[in-house]
Amino acid sequence: MVAEFTERGSVRRPALDRLVAMPPAVFADEFWGRAPVLSRAVDLPTGFNDLFSIGSVDELVANRAIRTPFVRMANEGTVLDTARFTSSGGFGAEVGDQLDSTKVLREFADGATLVLQGLHRTWQPIADFTRALVGDLGHPAQVNAYVTPASSRGFDPHYDVHDVFVIQIFGEKHWTIHEPVHPDPLRDQPWTDHREAVAAKATGSPAIDETFRPGDVLYLPRGWIHSAQALGGTSIHLTIGVSALTRWDIVQRLVVAATSDVALRGSLPLGIDYTDAAALAPLIESTIASLSATLQGTATEQIGDALAKKLSDSIRPAPVLPLATIESLGAIGADTPVVWRDGLSARVEHDQQHATIVLGTRTVTLPAEAFPAVEELERREPVAAGHLRGLDPESSVVVARRLVREGVLVVGVDRGETRPD
């Protein structure tokens, strides 16, 4: 089942809305994790030149000293040794695994595909877009660029263990996509575990056999088999990999919660014959009963917090500018706007003495009277530093300065940028 949509609805999630030509609710209910969606450029609200271009590739290769593993090259499905496209940066920059633009030129001219990995960390427009998309999806995401020379096939038919959005940026590429042989693979179930089945499936009738042009976007759930070939000239596409949290993540956290049951932690009997099904059956049945009873008492909030932590551990918030932040602190006054740092995940707690912001492995502790202010700030709308809820103007500015210094807030309305007022 493959869908190609043109109808658009009124409900928007800003980043996701750029990628699918349908209402996000329809995508979420009918296609997420289930079936591919091909959206043509003409049916999408904007192009993607603001995110990436052929000039972006040359800038990254020639001027940014990109290092492995943020780059790799492959030719006809074989990954090249890094020495073939990297070298030292010369005096003062002797690190030996930096991209060498001359070597890249030579390998690319000989038919090798260039893969720029982790662009959500190295190219700011994509970093900003990825943070917004993670907010829309509620799942971690990362971005690679695939730069393929004319009529070249980069990788053999394979499947990914994460969902992808493919954005054609430059040139044309023909994609051939087949249904899964192993639906919804987990991260430890790569396509190489099913190499023969994948190869056999790839010889059959494809589910999608289309040429992608600039601005076209494909959504492909994990497990769907795909390969691509550039047509007539250089092709550039972005692959947004989405590492979806799964029901298996819930199962794993339920198992962790079950370790609180003393009976489930108990040792198995001495001398048991594990090949004796009759002897083993009562033990398994009693264990299942204990596990079921324990899991029935597991708090939903406990599992939710564990999943939220996994998400927050998998993404990074918008960067701060350390020097500009320090310079801005003294200039923060009552009318200075501050806003919660974009992409920052935190848990806010309070008791009679303190309001606490839990940020992964560290915490920020404030007086209890600051809790209404933190609740207000967590809504991620700009607030004047001297007018935080529940605080007098002087205390409000003190709290705002503290949270800017801790990297919780940034100065101004531009999230992700901290600059002097």
DSSP per residue over 319-358, as a string?
P--HHHHHHHHTT--TT-EEEEPTT---EEEE-SSEEEEE
* Contact status, residue 189 vs residue 1, Cβ threshold 8 Å: no
Of 128, 132, 165, nearest to 242 by C-alpha is: 165
The continuous run of DSSP H or E covering 291 comes out as helix 277-296
pLDDT for 275-322, tens place per residue? 999 889 999 999 999 888 888 877 788 888 888 888 888 888 999 999
pLDDT of residue 229: 85
62 lies in a domain? no
195 lies in a domain? yes
Mark out the alpha helices in 7-67 (DSSP H runs).
Answer: 24-30, 54-63
273 lies in a domain? no
328 lies in the same domain as 236: no
140 lies in the same domain as 17: yes
Name the more confident of 81 and 269. 81
204 lies in a domain? yes
Phi, psi of 107 (to 5 degrees): -70, -40
20 lies in the same domain as 168: yes
Of 35, 78, 38, 76, nearest to 223 by C-alpha is: 35
Of 338, 335, 340, nearest to 357 by C-alpha is: 340
Where is the domain boundary, 242, 264, 294?
Answer: 242
Number of folded domains that form the chain: 2
Average confidence (pLDDT) over 160-171: 97
What secondary structure letter does DSSP report for 18?
G
Q: Where residue 21 sits, what CATH number does that domain have?
A: 2.60.120.650
Write out the two tokens for 224: 């769907």
C-alpha dihedral (170, 179, 188, 113), degrees to nearest 10? -30
Average confidence (pLDDT) over 378-402: 95
59 lies in a domain? no
Share of the chain above pLDDT 70, in %: 95
Q: How far apart are CA 344 and CA 340, in angstroms?
A: 8
Q: Where residue 351 sits, what CATH number does that domain have?
A: 3.90.930.40
42 lies in a domain? yes
What's the whole-number average pLDDT of the chain? 90
Q: What is the DSSP string of 158-174?
A: B--SSEEEEEEEEEEEE
Where is the domain boundary, 242, 271, 286?
Answer: 242
What's the pTM value of the predicted model, to 2 decimals?
Answer: 0.86
Q: Where residue 231 falls among pLDDT bands split at 50, 70, 90?
A: confident
pLDDT for 251-277, tens place per residue? 999 888 888 888 899 898 898 888 999
pLDDT of residue 166: 97
Classified as helix, coil or strand, 364 is strand
Average confidence (pLDDT) over 341-367: 90
359 lies in the same domain as 228: no
171 lies in a domain? yes
> Cα angle vertex 38, ends 34, 43, to 5°?
130
pLDDT of residue 420: 36
Write out the two tokens for 9: 């609805």
Residue 219: domain span: 3-53+101-242
Where is the domain boundary, 242, 274, 303?
Answer: 242
* Contact status, residue 410 vs residue 418, Cβ threshold 8 Å: yes
Average confidence (pLDDT) over 98-102: 96
232 lies in the same domain as 340: no
45 lies in the same domain as 178: yes
Helix axes 277-296, 247-258, angle to 10 degrees: 100
Q: How far apart are CA 171 and CA 214, in angstroms?
A: 6
285 lies in a domain? no
* Whether residue 415 has pLDDT greater than 90: no
* Whether residue 119 has pLDDT greater than 50: yes
